[in-house]
Amino acid sequence: MYNWQFPSWPNFSYNIHSLHALSLKFSQELGEVSGMLYGRSKALQDETLMELMLTEAIKTSEIEGEFISREDVMSSLRNNLGLNQILVSVKDKRATNITSLMLEVRKSFDQPLTLQMLQNWHRTLMAHALHINPGAWRKGTAAMQIISGAYGAEVVHFEAPPSAEVVNEMEAFVQWFNTDSFPVNGEAAEAILKAAVAHLYFESIHPFEDGNGRIGRAIAELALSQSIGYPLMLSLSKIIERDKNRYYEALKEAQRTMEITAWITYFGSVILDAQCDAREVVHFTLRKSKFFDSYKDALNERQLKVIHKMLDKGTEGFTGGMTAKKYISITKTSKATATRDLLALHSIGVLVQEGAGRSVKYQLNLNPI
């Protein structure tokens, strides 16, 4: 049996005692991030927000097997946040769709959830999809199943309620989201609990033909922000994508029972890890800002272009380090000039050298800043 087939659906049961330590740590991390950003310039806050939204857009797509270039997502975000004086053309429309969705969710944090809102989100996300009707609930008599495995050896992980029941199920979901209360003390514990249950509840209905995972993670983010009282800056999908097999397994197990303590503990740990990661992103953004304040007048145009390219990779760093070959590719300069520029950057402490000879490469030196 699946959860929606139990007589008690959708009244999930759970033990809240495991939430105490999680919610306390989450609250501490949340306070630290807020303290780090308090009083900072709007430009710095926008840069932090963009880095986290950039990661969320890329990772929530990767979970579903869609790989969107970082450059396209960044350009779309900068366009939408008003950070580009001249709008940049975005080649991949999926980048525009996912960033537009995230901004819509963020702007909706203080509004009641509605069916129309969810359908608009889906319409935004799937605007250029050819195989579905964006914004429409799924229809038809065929079962909506989550399946993996080769043809002839498929494994059914979950089967959602029949399409004929979707409208009623979604009306009940929205009613629950806007009115239900939770037997916990503190907004942090309520935020974790509501986000975990909301995500599982929505994914179990699976109301759209496609895009349910991305909409479901957006709903979890909305639940967190509404419970805390302001839009949070974190990326749930970055943590989920690190071990998405565990995510799918936890979801599969939770969808076969109405007792979901294990799911809440799992999803709560995802939320906590995402908030801890957000703290690291804020640290990175602050170091980046100080970095440019310290070195911008000492760098030529080529060097600045390369440093920007390296920093655009975020906290994960520039894969493989910077080499003379990569420097030439980015700046369209000669090997002699690339070597001279890199040695100069190393000599003033901007870059740290790794290896020697033909295998020499460089990483940014942000730690002393």
Q: Got the DSSP string for 266-318?
A: HHHHHHHHHHHHHHHHHHHHHHHHHHHHHHGGG--HHHHHHHHHHHTTGGG--
Q: Which two tokens stand for residue 105?
A: 């969710």
366 has a pLDDT exceeding 60: yes
Four-CA torsion 72, 76, 81, 86, nearest 10 degrees: 100
Helical residues (DSSP H) of the chain, grouped into ranges: 19-37, 42-63, 70-80, 93-107, 115-125, 166-179, 187-205, 212-228, 236-242, 244-254, 261-295, 301-311, 324-331, 335-347
Cis (ω within 30 of 0) for the bond into 7? no
pLDDT tens by residue, 115-138: 999 999 999 999 988 888 999 999
Predicted pLDDT at 359: 82
User: In whole angstroms, what is the distance from residue 337 CA to residue 81 CA?
Assistant: 36
**For tokens 């840069």, what's the residue?**
47
Q: Which two tokens stand for residue 190?
A: 């309520």
Predicted pLDDT at 150: 66
Give the chain's mean pLDDT.
91
368 has a pLDDT exceeding 60: no
User: In whole angstroms, what is the distance from residue 353 CA to residue 347 CA?
Assistant: 10
Which residue type sits at 99? T
Q: What count of Cα atoms within 13 Å lies in the side-chain half-sphere of residue 58?
A: 20
Q: Which two tokens stand for residue 359?
A: 């295998």
Predicted pLDDT at 265: 96
Q: What would the mean pLDDT of 162-170 be, rounded to a whole number? A: 97
CA–centroid distance for 347 within its chain: 37
User: Which is nearest to 124 in space by CA: 145, 106, 146?
Assistant: 106
229 has a pLDDT exceeding 70: yes
Q: Which two tokens stand for residue 137?
A: 């609930």
Predicted pLDDT at 86: 85
Contact 49, 233 (CB under 8 A): yes
Q: What would the mean pLDDT of 28-48 be, rounded to a whole number? A: 87
Residue partners of 225: CB distance under 8 A and separation at least 6: 106, 109, 231, 232
pLDDT tens by residue, 251-267: 999 999 999 999 999 99
**Beta-sheet pairing, 155-159 with 351-354:** unpaired
User: Which is nearest to 348 in space by CA: 298, 287, 276?
Assistant: 298
C-beta neighbour count of 262 within 10 angstroms = 15
Predicted pLDDT at 119: 98
User: In whole angstroms, what is the distance from residue 248 CA to residue 62 CA?
Assistant: 14
User: In whole angstroms, what is the distance from residue 287 CA to residue 315 CA?
Assistant: 11
Predicted pLDDT at 339: 92
Contact 156, 168 (CB under 8 A): no
User: Which domains, and CATH codes, for the chain?
Assistant: 3-284 (1.10.3290.10), 301-364 (1.10.10.10)
